[in-house]
Amino acid sequence: MSEFENNERIDKLKAVAGNDWWVDPVNADFIHLSSLQKVSVREKSEFQEIEIIELGSFGQCLILDQKIQSSERDEHAYHESLVHPVLLSHAVGPKRVFIGGGGEGATSREVLKHKSVEECIMVDIDGKCVDVCQTHLKDHHRGAFENPRHKLIIEDAKKILEESADGYYDVIILDLADPVDGGPCYQLYTDSFYQMCKSKLASGGILVTQSGPCGILSYLDVFTPIFVTVRSVFPQHTYPYVSNVPSFMDDYGFTVALKDVEPTFIPKYTSIQDVDERIDERIEG
């Protein structure tokens, strides 16, 4: 079946669903329906379509270009998985953290729970999306934008990183949309971009990127190419990990890469007891 034929089939299903159901084409052969309770926002920015929709199963959701990015019921599963394994793997606790993307502010919320963090710089290219999230997704950011340690910059994350001093950041978190051709983020998944990120990390620094769905039906689409590309830049210490995020309708993958690290702080060598001790020492809130 051609892409045109599949899109035509999806459009027919949307017409039948009407205003009662939200249609989520997970892939060409798998479509998820969720009861549509309320549409709070439906706008288009310079970069993407932005919707805030309440779904029966997942509550308030941020939807970009008709794909769920974050839901009230399970956003914690995504944001905690993106942030805490990485920050807890840092040898002494990171002081300076860079976030690329993260418009809802939930990634910033989790970063700011770490007592060692002195500066959290969040860079998102879509100011309209950030404004919408600040207004309508308060349970996601929970005041992170007002934290004095937090700095929001509306700009291309690549540009801001390029302008940063080499070795400045202890952790770089890439909370970006998937690398779709023509989308706002596709240039932030290349080996040259990851090489530049590596130069901006301090010794012992860590990079993590969301890496898309990684289930048996989807791992080759986005997850595998991202992991392979990151590993080409960080050949010694690049690791995949996975979290279950129900609203994404699949297992969800992340890729973490470590620069110049001591073996005891490589995640696969870290014991449960070590992790528990670091949580007690480093996190509040």
Per-residue pLDDT at 144:
97
Does residue 167 register a pLDDT over 90?
yes
Contact predicate 198/232, CB 8 Å = no
Q: For the chain, list the strands marked E by DSSP.
A: 21-27, 30-44, 49-55, 59-64, 67-71, 96-101, 119-124, 150-154, 169-175, 201-213, 238-245, 250-258
Per-residue pLDDT at 180:
67
State the amino acid at position 93 in one-letter form: G
CATH of domain 3-71: 2.30.140.10
User: Is 276 assigned a catalytic role?
Assistant: no
Does residue 17 register a pLDDT over 90?
no
> pTM of the prediction?
0.92
219 confidence band (pLDDT: 50, 70, 90): confident
CATH of 75-282, one of 3.50.50.60, 3.40.50.970, 3.40.50.150, 3.30.565.40: 3.40.50.150
**Exactly one of 175, 178, 250, 276 is catalytic; which is it?**
175
Sort strands 238-245 and 250-258 into parallel, antiparallel or unpaired. Answer: antiparallel
User: Distance of CA 61 to CAs 52, 82, 104, Å?
Assistant: 6, 18, 10
Report how far residue 10's alpha carbon sits from residue 70's, in angstroms, rounded to the nearest whole number: 22
Indicate the domain borders of the chain: 3-71, 75-282
